[in-house]
Amino acid sequence: MNDVTGLNLRMATETDLPDILRLYQQPDLDDGKALPLPEAIAWFHKIQQYPSYQLLVAEWGDRIVGTLMLLVLDNLIHLGAPSGLVEAVAVDPHYHGQGIGRQMMHWAMAAARQSHCYKLVLSSSLTRDRAHAFYESLGFQQRGMSFEVTLAECSANTAAVDESQNLMVG
């Protein structure tokens, strides 16, 4: 790991969004796709309304070189202890191996501890072996199984169920 002296970790601002979107356009993140800037700005403002959702950027010199999101979720289980969820971790490919991701993840772990989270979780695509090794080097352990459903494919089916059960969704 190289020296990352001078790396500044801070909360993102709207003016950081073009750089954050650039980081998300890596081929192994969303197949190189990212939101158009006007949509990203709208989502950024919506995310700011969440009580415990933080968008972090790592800035080195005058360049944004990394980002992640941390959401702290309140719980009724585990005696009310919250849990933390890390999402959207990205480091500029030109800066991989410099320790930037490690510092960002240490920040997320410290923030989750400070929020009294009983755990911090993240998910990673099965094909990202280097990312898995990185997370394991930080003390993350693979536990259980992760399941997902692509909602766009099943929205017609769930709409009928929601309607029949008079559930309010949205």
pLDDT at 76 over 80: yes
Q: Count the neighbouring beta carbons within 10 Å of the beta carbon of residue 20.
A: 21
Tokens of 89: 């971790």
Could you tell me the pTM of the whole model? Answer: 0.81
pLDDT at 157 over 70: no
Which pLDDT value is given to residue 158? 44
- Indicate the length of the chain as a whole number: 170
> What are the boundaries of each domain within the chain?
7-145
Q: What is the mean pLDDT of the chain?
A: 86
pLDDT at 67 over 80: yes
Q: Count the neighbouring beta carbons within 10 Å of the beta carbon of residue 91.
A: 22
Any bridge partners for residue 83, and if so which? 73
Of 57, 132, 115, the closest CA to residue 91 belongs to: 57
User: Which tens digits make up the pLDDT trace of 6-47?
Assistant: 999 999 999 999 999 999 999 888 888 899 999 999 999 999
- What span, in angstroms and rounded, lies between the C-alpha atoms of 84 and 73? 6
Higher pLDDT, 36 or 154: 36
- Spell out the CATH class of 7-145: alpha beta
Strand segments (E) across the chain: 7-11, 53-60, 63-73, 83-91, 120-121
Tokens of 45: 């403002």
User: How far apart, in Å, are the Cα atoms of 170 and each of 28, 89, 167?
Assistant: 30, 26, 10
1-15, 77-91, 104-118, 140-154: the lowest-pLDDT one: 140-154
Amino acid identity, position 136: E
Tokens of 63: 């360049």
Task: Find out whether 68 and 108 touch, Cβ atoms under 8 Å.
Answer: yes
- What span, in angstroms and rounded, lies between the C-alpha atoms of 40 and 16? 11
